[in-house]
Amino acid sequence: MNDFVHGIASFFGLTEPNVRVVFWGSLILCSVSGLVGTFTFLRKRALMGDVISHSVLPGIALAYMISHQKNPMYLIIGAVITGWVSTFLVDYITKNSKIKNDTAIALVLSVFFGIGVMLLVHIQHSGSGSQSGLDNFIFGKASAMTKADVWLFALAGSVIISVILIFFRGFSTISFDEAFAQSIGFPLDFLRFVLAIATVATVAMGVQAVGVVLMSALLITPAAAARFWTNKIGVLALLSVLFAGFSGVFGAAISYTYNGMPTGPWIVVVISLIALFSAFFGSKTGMTRSFLQRKQNDRKILIENTIKLFYGLTDAGNKLTKTFLFEDILNAGNMKVGTLKNGLNLLLKHRYITLSGNQYLITPSGFNEAKAIVRKHRLWELYISKFMNLDPDHVHDDAEGIEHIITPEIEKELEKELNFPKKDPHDSDIPY
């Protein structure tokens, strides 16, 4: 444990030149991947990220075979070409054949990755002295980066980030609704092409840190984790960059501490832990928040269903001083004994009713709550009866569910649309 802490502290101390190269290289590559991956995630193109990451391998191998050197510029150019060809083939096959998208993705991915592995094996047996290290692109090895590589990644990353910022509004719009984007004048094909090139270039750079096998995880997971914390696309992109950048440098630090372990798997493990934490505790769509929200909704529905019983018992408010036994309230509805006890306890907690001995009495504030929920119920019954031509006998169950989610704004619209009606379809008064 002490060795681990010492190794992490040594990495983030940035005292060694090679560590500084790995730190900045991982930070740049992963941060750019997080930003570009935001749109891949929102467009539900996660599998396309997998296709691109596997398809850059033959491009890297071909670039080496042609240039006979591991110049990162040549390798990235080769990776971008084969990566873009793979996306073109997937779209072409899907549009011009009966093969479905997932089948086309599996077909292109396996063919390109197979060719890439075959070319790498051929290079390794060619006897070339400069081929050492090419296999690091499969699982990633950030320690293989040089200072020149980092400068190249910084330059390419700056270009990609600038492109994303310039076309951010267009990319955001096509990510949610391409038809709407086209209808308001966005050049759909151009934006798709630019985004595809930015994605392919990002993957081509990122494979050096993460490897082709795990690159799609770095592209998708940061945005997926960020989605649990926000509904705003700008914040989503920023959180995705932060999560990806942190996982990049911390994963590289762990790989540095445990000498000989590839960087890619550790980066993916870190970002996966962030995604798991976000899934449980995310403030917007995390499972804990969803659970608490459901419990809160259940309490609200129980309160409203219980207080409605008093409205009927008080004869529409004409007998507010009348008290009721538990059995009177139970016989007024269809609640189970345990459910009604819970409902009454909640009403007492909110001071909607009082309890004296064994007698329950509704308070004025409780009666106002009861009147409000009854009004929503009867307005909705009248609305669906009038505009959906349903018989009055068939509107009660629908209104029972809808009444709990009608907001004050919707209630005002209903009143306006129905011209402030006095009676519901059953000829009962609508209380105001």
Q: Is the pTM of this model over 0.85?
A: no
pLDDT of residue 140: 66
pLDDT of residue 95: 87
φ/ψ region of 325 (left if φ > 0, alpha if ψ in -120 to 50, else beta) reads: beta
Angle subtended by helix axes 2-13 and 17-42, to nearest 10:
90
Contacts of 259 (CB under 8 A, 6+ apart): none
* Alpha-carbon span 374 to 124, nearest angstrom: 78
Element (H, E) at 87: helix 72-96
SS3 279: helix
pLDDT of residue 282: 93
DSSP alpha helix (H) spans, 314-363:
326-331, 337-349
Q: Which residue has the tokens 């985004």?
A: 195
pLDDT of residue 7: 78
DSSP codes joined into one string, 190-249: HHHHHHHHHHHHHHHHHHHHH-TTTHHHHHHHHHHHHHTT-S-HHHHHHHHHHHHHHHHH
Q: Which of 208, 259, 254 is nearest to 30 (CA)?
A: 208
* Alpha-carbon span 77 to 86, nearest angstrom: 14
DSSP state of 325: -
Show the tokens assigned to 149.
Answer: 């590589």
* Alpha-carbon span 199 to 248, nearest angstrom: 18
State the distance between the two ends of the chain, measured CA to CA, in whole angstroms: 69
Regions of the chain short of the pLDDT cut 50? none
φ/ψ region of 337 (left if φ > 0, alpha if ψ in -120 to 50, else beta) reads: alpha
pLDDT of residue 425: 87
Show the tokens assigned to 271.
Answer: 């970002």
pLDDT of residue 217: 84
Give 429's strand partners.
Answer: 423
Contacts of 92 (CB under 8 A, 6+ apart): none
* Alpha-carbon span 86 to 57, nearest angstrom: 11
pLDDT of residue 270: 93
